[in-house]
Amino acid sequence: MADSDFFTIIENIITLDSDKKFHKELNLISWRCSAPVYDLRGWTRDRSEMTKGVTLTSEELTQLKEKLGGIEL
């Protein structure tokens, strides 16, 4: 669990490997002690820096998961 005055990472769901400075993580995170949301963004290995990201409620993540299931690559 990572903590700061600004956020608390409650659970790391997925980490996508990358050779770049930032790798992507999907985390369950609480911003400023608010209700946890799912958060997808880039982080440095030590989580000292982050990129802009996207936050989703559990309902939004469920919808995204269902819609992604129909995508063929």
Q: Token pair of 51, please?
A: 């990129």
SS3 assignment, position 19: coil
Q: Go through the domains of the chain in sequence order and give each one's CATH number.
A: 7-68 (2.30.31.70)
pLDDT score for 60: 97
Cα separation, 7 vs 29, whole angstroms: 7
Whole-structure pTM value: 0.86
For residue range 29-53, list pLDDT tens digits in order: 999 989 999 999 999 999 999 999 9
Whether residue 59 is predicted with pLDDT greater than 90 in this model: the reply is yes
Whether residue 3 is predicted with pLDDT greater than 70 in this model: the reply is no
pLDDT score for 53: 97
